[in-house]
Structure 1
Amino acid sequence: MDDSEIVTSYFNYIFKDMVKLKWIGHAYSIREAKALIKSERPDVVIIDIELKEENGFDLLKFIKRAYPGVAVFMLCNTTDFNYARKSELLGAHYFIDKSFEFYNIPNFLMALQSAKNISQKLNRFESFT
C-alpha cells in the first residue's frame, strides 16, 4: 500500500460515520491542492503544515485569498504556540495536533457544522492566545 492509499484509507475510516461528508481526495503539493480545490470547491480543507518541500501556510494564504469561505484545519505534530498563532492570524478555523487530536477531526467537523447551522463562528484558538 502506498502513501496515497494509506491516507485515503485512514480518512475513509475516521469519516465512516459522517453521512454528510464527502471525501474528495488529497494532494501532495500546493499545485495539486490548488487544482483539487478549484475543481471540487470544498467547504473544508485540511492542511498539514509540513508539506514535502513546501509550507502549508502558503496554501492557507492562497485559500483564504481565493476562497475565503472555505474552512481550513491546520495539522501539525506539535501544539507549538507560534504555529497555532500563525494559523489563527492567517485565517484557519482549527489547529490540530496530529499526535493527540487527529482522531477528533470528525468531532471538529461536526462542531464547525453546528456553529454554521446557528450562524456562529467557531474559534478554537482561545487556548493558544
Structure 2
Amino acid sequence: MMDYQSTAACGPKPANGGKRRMNKQRKPVRVMLVEDSQPVRERLHSLLEESAPVVIVAEASTVEGAIMFFRQHRPDAVVLDLDLTDGNGGAALRAIKRLRPACVVLVLTNFAVPGYREHCLQLGADYFFDKFHEFERVPEVLATLVTAPAVQRV
C-alpha cells in the first residue's frame, strides 16, 4: 500500500466554538497521522479541521512510511494506529520515541484491550484511545498541546 504525505493545513481553528484563545505567539501543533484505513484518515482530517488548532504535516499507512515521514517532518504529535499494512504500529512507536522522546504519541486503535494498553504505554505512548469509544478525544488532546510551553514542542 502506498503512503501519503500532506502539507495541507487543518487549522489553526479554535476548539472552543469559534472563540480564539490561542496565543498568537504559539504555533499550531504539527501532526502526523499513521493509519492504514483511508476512511479513518479522512474522518480524522474532518474532525481536526473542525476543532483542533493543528497542521497535518504527513500521513502514512505503514510502519516504514511512518518512520520515514517522521524523520522528514519531525512533528509535535503523532496519531498512531496499531494495525498497519506492513506490521504492528508498536514498531513505529518505538522508533518515534527513540528518535524524539518529546513527541506526543496518541495511539488510536480497535485493539483497546488492557494488554495492548500497557504495552503501548511501556513503549512510550502518551495516550491510548479506543477508536470505537474515544475517537472524538483526539482533537481535545491535540488542542491542549497548543497551550503547552513551546519549549516542550521542539
TM-score computed with the length of structure 1 as normaliser: 0.77
**3-state SS of 1:92 partner:** coil
Among 98, 111, 119, the residue aligned to 2:144: 111
* 1:41 counterpart residue number: 74
* 2:33 counterpart residue number: none
The more displaced of 91-100 and 48-57 is 48-57
Say which structure, 1 or 2, has more relative contact order (CA 8 Å, 6+ apart). Answer: 2
The alpha carbon displacement at 1:119 in A equals 8.8
Q: Note the 1:74-89 alignment, pairs <5 A.
A: 74-89=107-122
Does structure 1 residue 57 correspond to structure 2 residue 57? no
* 1:125 counterpart residue number: none
**Distance (Å, rounded) in 1 between the aligned partners of 2:52 and 2:129:** 22
The alpha carbon displacement at 1:102 in A equals 0.8
Unaligned runs of 5+ in 1: 121-129
The alpha carbon displacement at 1:105 in A equals 0.7
Kindly indicate which of the two structures has a greater share of residues assigned to helix.
1
Contact 1:30 1:54 in 2 (8 A): yes
State the superposition RMSD in angstroms. Answer: 2.4
**Distance (Å, rounded) in 2 between the aligned partners of 1:4 and 1:81:** 23
The more displaced of 4-13 and 92-101 is 4-13
Q: Note the 1:1-40 alignment, pairs <5 A.
A: 6-18=39-51, 20-40=53-73
TM-score computed with the length of structure 2 as normaliser: 0.66
Among 65, 71, 77, the residue aligned to 2:104: 71
The alpha carbon displacement at 1:46 in A equals 1.1
Q: For the structure 1 residues 118 and 45, does the alpha-carbon distance in structure 2 shift closer, same or farther, using more than 3 Å as the test? A: closer
Contact 1:78 1:97 in 2 (8 A): yes
Contact 2:76 2:104 in 1 (8 A): yes
